[in-house]
A and B are shown apart, each in its own frame.
Chain A
Amino acid sequence: MIRIFPSLRLTSLLSAAKPLCSSSPAKKPPQYTSLTESKSSRPTKSLSITPKTPLYLRTPSHATSLSEVWKWHDWAKDLASSVEESSKNSEDTLDSVILHRELKWLIEDSIVDDPLVILHRSEIADNGEKNVKLRASLEELYDLWRQRIEKRRPFQYVVGCEHWRDLVLCVEEGVLIPRPETELIVDMVEELVTRDEWFKKDIWADLGTGSGAIAIGIAKVLGSRGRVIATDLSPVAIAVAGHNVQRYSLEGMIEVREGSWFEPLKDLEGKLVGLVSNPPYIPSDDIPGLQAEVGRHEPKLALDGGIDGTDSLFHLCHGASRMLQPGGFFVFETNGEKQSKMIVDYMMTSDLKDCFSDLKIVSDFAGINRFVTGFRL
């Protein structure tokens, strides 16, 4: 088993990868170990990590008078409006329109009553004496909003969840907040499996699953017979992904395994019908200049893709040739134009050149060449 670390150079990757392609056992009939069995036999460090409860699921144990909440809301609005002046000359700024929307969502997540009692105060006959039930104390709400604006803590960490596709996923520090672009991976899989039922029959894998977003999205489009293995190296990610899988009652379909890339999938060589991944792909040199929410708060392990950002991607290409059964599909997310082209060129010219067909670059809604897709020959 070859393990590639993000720091490993491209050249070593190339030479190390050669035997992998030819060694893929293609003709074995699909035969997999029971998902639950392998799960129980694999003790993980992450068991001890308890994921945080997102704000909107907490018990509403804080009765607070409306007038106090209004006061907080006024303060929060003012703070949101003031950001643009205070950060005019820097490039990485907050946008007050977006902040106002986030504030509305923060209220929706924290209040049991209709959020309109706060947002449309003018229509409330009440003079503010009425109590409302909150899921966080007012003190905490002050603190959370300050963290959002002053510490640039991502909104999704503030409320402990991210709305992604039709899912609400728990997220917390240590786990990457799934990006809107990545939703398209599930769209592509959905399109594929609706066109060809064959892809519903065998196991899919989502490598570097983070919050479990892609794995859960795929399990849902696969339907009741679907099976997905989700892996990650980060114990926090494993715990959070497991928790999200549980929240959507998909334990029977998704198995979360801890370990580096293909290492936890040794039992599945040549058996996967689909392989997806959004691996870390940001070039190391870009990490210090990242947007504050990302650079200061999200895990480096989820972002840093080595010198030109492609360390994990190249590793995944080789793994794909080894793990996929003939006809199997893969999609990887990349940093854009340059990386996607590098990956496709590599797959067409290197020792992998006879491994894949229909290699394609697919762009995201911003028009950036975001994904590379293809099929195992």
Chain B
Amino acid sequence: MLSLIIRRSRSRFIIHGIKISCNSLSAVDSSSSVLVSRRTFSSTPALSYFGFNYGKISNLNQRFGNYAYSGSSFASSTRSLSSEAVAVAATCDGLTVERIIANQWPILDENEGDWKSHAAAIAQSIQVIKRRLQWKKLLVRLKVLSAELNKSDLWDDPTHAGKISREHGSLTGKMKGVMTFERELLEHIDMLKLAKEENDSELESETLKALIDMRRVSKEKELEALLSADNDPCSCYIEVQAGAGGTESNDWAAMVMEMYKTWAQRRKFSVTVVDEAPGEIAGIKRATIKVNGEYAYGYAKAEVGVHRLVRISPFDSGKRRHTSFAAVAVIPILGDGSTRVEINDSDLRIERFRSGGAGGQHANTTDSAVRIVHIPTGITATCQNERSQHSNKASAMAVLQSRLDQLEMARQTAMNAQHTQSLTEISWGNQIRTYVLHPYRMVKDLRTNYEVSDPDSVLEGDLDGFILSFLSSSLDKDDPEH
């Protein structure tokens, strides 16, 4: 069989070289396969790959589309991909995505890993994506739909027929997307082995590079799969409240808030402090920050709950071990498209915060904080960090609106999901993570058992490991198959 390496310039294909390779590259079928060099398609338009549209989570969509193009237009065009018979893609020597996962190859850092590490990472992402799509259910549903489509009297009811064929089309698209991606992975592996056999170092490094690219894309796709709930794309407020214990806890609450600020900055979200009640001696009693950026809520909601710290207190002259608590709540800032709770002006009481004295011309202050109380619910919001009272009021109003929206969401879904809890509802028993600085050093998530031995890096905002492991574990919860 012929394998062509094709290089594309602008819109023309130029045949670059011809290589002879083994006859059956893929176990899926025996038709010929065209291998396409990765970088050659850099100007293809992005396609929606898996059929779920999460908005623009990253600029990697463009690159991902390239895979889709190379996959579906070349490799898959030669194969039967009907929904009737879903063939399992495999390499020449029978390696499948499931086998890769079963092999448990260690997943190393991108630049340290060999191809096995990359393959394992990609396979893992594919698995998350499949879980998100509820893969087995999807295949069953496709079968049902195909059966319907084959009925001779289908078009007697055109509306029904239209619905069925649309759903069939959409599910097929999603399925094909995943399968093409799987096949792409296996083809790369085949090609890599081939290159090794033939000592073709250029082909080998090119394929390895393609695999790394694919790994990045699949990571992003995995993330999109994890962040697909309604409000995930929203910006959000993060609130931290110190537990009992005065200075000790206030200091811990400030550390937690700092952790989120740096985490958000690293993720290129913008951060503004909305409200902050400092502790008497150190730290904060309570604070609210606004985190602006796409998917801020989707990530941050994984942090809701109580965070526990064990350390030798810097405030205790006796150098004893102390345990402190801080509660974290996260509130999505709903976009204009969503229905928001309507607030009556007459239900509000607006107060100057920390006021005193005669005010007016008597007083010069840069402090124009206001507190807004929503009388029917008793919910309040305060903002003090803007430079005018007008802006403080507007910011506090925005916080109040989001709090009321969240209350309404919790009421409507009636499921009282943990991440919709407000600070006052979070019970101090609901610990989600422990940070131990003494006698040993460790941060452990009690929900996922994800664990890190370097608390400093976590406190400096390296939270993504915790967040992602929590998000993927909650995917399992939603999926009855697991």
Beyond A163-B387, A166-B390, A166-B391, is A365–B370 a contact (Cβ under 8 Å)?
A: yes
Taking CB atoms, residues of chain A closer than 8 Å to B359 are 179, 181, 336, 364, 366, 368, 370
The residues of B that contact A280 with a CB separation of less than 8 Å are 361
Complex Cα distance, B367 from A98, in Å, reads 7
Chain-A contact segment, one of B52-60, B239-247, B348-356, B375-383: B348-356
Q: Is the CB of B360 within 8 A of A105?
A: no
> Residue A23 at the B interface, CB < 8 A?
no
B414 beta carbon closer than 8 Å to chain A:
no
Q: Chain A residues with Cβ under 8 A from B358's Cβ?
A: 335-336, 368
**In contact, A97 and B262 (Cβ under 8 angstroms):** no
* Chain A residues near B370 (CB-CB < 8 A): 365
Q: In this complex, what residue of B is CB-closest to A91?
A: B357
Contact (Cβ within 8 A) A123 B262: yes
* Segment touching B, from A10-18, A31-39, A239-247, A290-298: A290-298
**Contact A365:B388 (CB < 8 A) given known A281-B361, A333-B360, A336-B358:** no
In the assembled complex, which residues on chain A have CB atoms less than 8 Å from the CB atom of B360?
Answer: 179, 181, 281, 333, 335-336, 364, 368, 370
> Are B361 and A303 in contact, CB atoms less than 8 angstroms apart?
yes
Residues of B within 8 A of A154 (CB): 364
In the complex, what residue of chain B is closest to A365 when comparing beta carbons? Answer: B352
- Could you say which of A116, A166, A286, A294 contacts B363, with CB atoms under 8 Å apart? A294
Residues in A whose Cβ lies below 8 Å from that of B362:
282, 286, 290-291, 294
Does B365 belong to the interface (CB within 8 Å)? yes
The answer to whether B262 and A366 have CB atoms under 8 Å apart is no
Please report which residues of chain A, range 88-102, place their CB below 8 angstroms from some CB of chain B when the two chains form the complex. 95, 97-98, 101-102
Complex CA distance for A367 and B357, rounded to whole angstroms: 11
Residue of B nearest to A98 (CB): B367
Contacting B at CB under 8 A, from A318-377, are 333, 335-336, 364-368, 370
Whole-angstrom distance between the alpha carbons of A183 and B394 in the complex?
13
Task: Say yes or no for B292: interface residue by CB 8 A criterion.
Answer: no
A 272-299 to B, binary, CB cutoff 8 A, 1 in contact else 0: 0000001011100010001101100110
Give the complex CA separation of A296 and B378 in angstroms: 42
The reply to whether B366 and A156 form a contact with Cβ atoms under 8 Å apart is yes
CB of B389 within 8 A of chain A? yes
Scan residues 115-155 of chain A and give those whose CB is less than 8 A from a CB of chain B.
116, 120, 123, 154-155
Please measure, in the bound complex, the distance between the C-alpha atom of A370 and the C-alpha atom of B387, giving whole angstroms.
22
Can you name the residue of chain A whose Cβ is closest to the Cβ of B461?
A123
Determine the chain B residues whose CB is within 8 A of the CB of A177 once the complex forms: 364
Q: Bound state CA distance, A368 and B362, in angstroms?
A: 13
Q: Which residues of chain A are near B366, meaning CB under 8 Å?
A: 98, 101-102, 105, 155-156
Closest residue of chain B to A96 (Cβ to Cβ) is B278
Taking a contact as CB atoms under 8 Å apart, the answer to whether B390 and A366 are in contact is no
CB distance from A298 to the nearest CB of B (A): 7
Q: Write the chain B residue with the least CB distance to A339.
A: B360
> Which A residues from 177 to 212 make CB contacts under 8 A with B?
177, 179-181, 183
Asked if A253 is at the interface of the complex by the 8 Å CB criterion, the answer is no
In the complex, what residue of chain B is closest to A95 when comparing beta carbons? B367
| Cα–Cα distance between A333 and B359 once the two chains are bound (Å) | 12
Contacts of A155 in B (CB 8 A): 366
Q: When A163-B391, A165-B388, A166-B390 are in contact, do A291 and B361 touch as well, CB less than 8 Å?
A: no
Interface status of B422 (Cβ within 8 A of chain A): no
CA distance in complex: A366, B367 (Å): 13
CB of B62 closer than 8 Å to a CB of A: no
CA distance A95 to B364 in the complex (A): 12
B265 lies within 8 A of chain A by Cβ = yes
Are A366 and B389 touching (Cβ within 8 A)? no
A232 to chain B, nearest CB (A): 15
Q: Give the size of the chain A interface in residues (CB under 8 angstroms).
A: 45
The CB with the most chain B CB atoms within 10 A, among A97, A280, A366, A367, is that of: A366
Q: Is B368 in the interface zone, CB < 8 Å from A?
A: yes
The answer to whether the Cβ of A70 comes within 8 Å of any Cβ in the partner chain is no
Whether the Cβ atoms of A291 and B363 lie closer than 8 Å is yes
Q: A302 an interface residue at 8 Å Cβ cutoff?
A: yes
Contact across chains for B262 and A365 when beta carbons are under 8 A apart: no
**A298 in contact with B364 (CB, 8 Å):** yes
Interface check A72, CB cutoff 8 A = no
Residues of B within 8 A of A97 (CB): 278
Contact, CB under 8 Å: A365 / B351: yes
> Restricting to B382-399, which residues have a CB under 8 Å from any CB of A?
385-391
- Report the minimum CB–CB distance from A144 to chain B (whole Å): 14
* Binary contact readout B284-310 vs A (1 if CB under 8 angstroms, 0 otherwise): 000000000000000000000000000
Q: Which of A101, A166, A302, A333 has the most CB of B within 10 A?
A: A101
Q: Chain A residues near B278 (CB, 8 Å)?
A: 97
B199 to chain A, nearest CB (A): 42
Contact partner, B352, options A163, A176, A290, A366, Cβ 8 Å: A366
Residues of A within 8 A of B391 (CB): 163, 165-166
* The residue from A281, A293, A367 contacting B351, defined by CB atoms under 8 A apart: A367
CA distance A164 to B352 in the complex (A): 15
Chain B residues within 8 Å of A302, by CB: 361
Q: Which of A164, A281, A293 contacts B364 (CB 8 A)?
A: A293
> Is B361 in contact with A180, judged by CB distance below 8 angstroms?
no
Are A183 and B355 within 8 A (Cβ)? Answer: no
Closest to B351 in A: A365
Chain B residues with CB under 8 A of A367: 351-352
Give the docked Cα–Cα distance between A155 and B351 (Å).
24
Report whether A365 and B364 are in contact in the complex, using a CB–CB cutoff of 8 Å.
Answer: no
Contacts of B387 in A (CB 8 A): 105, 163
Assembled-state Cα–Cα distance A123/B364 (Å): 35
A10 to chain B, nearest CB (A): 19
CB nearest to A116 among chain B residues:
B265
State which of A98, A278, A282 has its C-beta within 8 Å of the C-beta of B365. Answer: A98
> Is the pair A180, B389 in contact by a Cβ cutoff of 8 Å?
yes
Chain B 322-354 against A: per-residue CB contact (8 Å), 1 yes, 0 no? 000000000000000000000000000011100
Chain A nearest Cβ from B63, distance in angstroms: 28
How many Å lie between the Cα of A116 and that of B435 in the bound state? 27
Extra pairs beyond A183-B389, A365-B351, A368-B358 (8, CB < 8 Å): A98-B366, A155-B366, A163-B386, A165-B391, A180-B352, A183-B388, A294-B363, A298-B364
Question: Which residues of A does B touch, CB under 8 Å?
Answer: 95, 97-98, 101-102, 105, 116, 120, 123, 154-156, 163-167, 176-177, 179-181, 183, 278, 280-282, 286, 290-291, 293-294, 297-298, 302-303, 333, 335-336, 364-368, 370
Which 4 pairs of residues, A with B, have the shortest CB-CB distance?
A: A163-B387, A180-B389, A293-B364, A366-B355
A sample of 23 inter-chain contacts (CB < 8 A) reads A105-B366, A123-B262, A123-B265, A154-B364, A155-B366, A156-B364, A163-B388, A164-B390, A166-B390, A176-B361, A177-B364, A179-B361, A181-B359, A181-B360, A278-B361, A286-B362, A291-B362, A294-B361, A294-B363, A302-B361, A364-B359, A366-B351, A367-B351
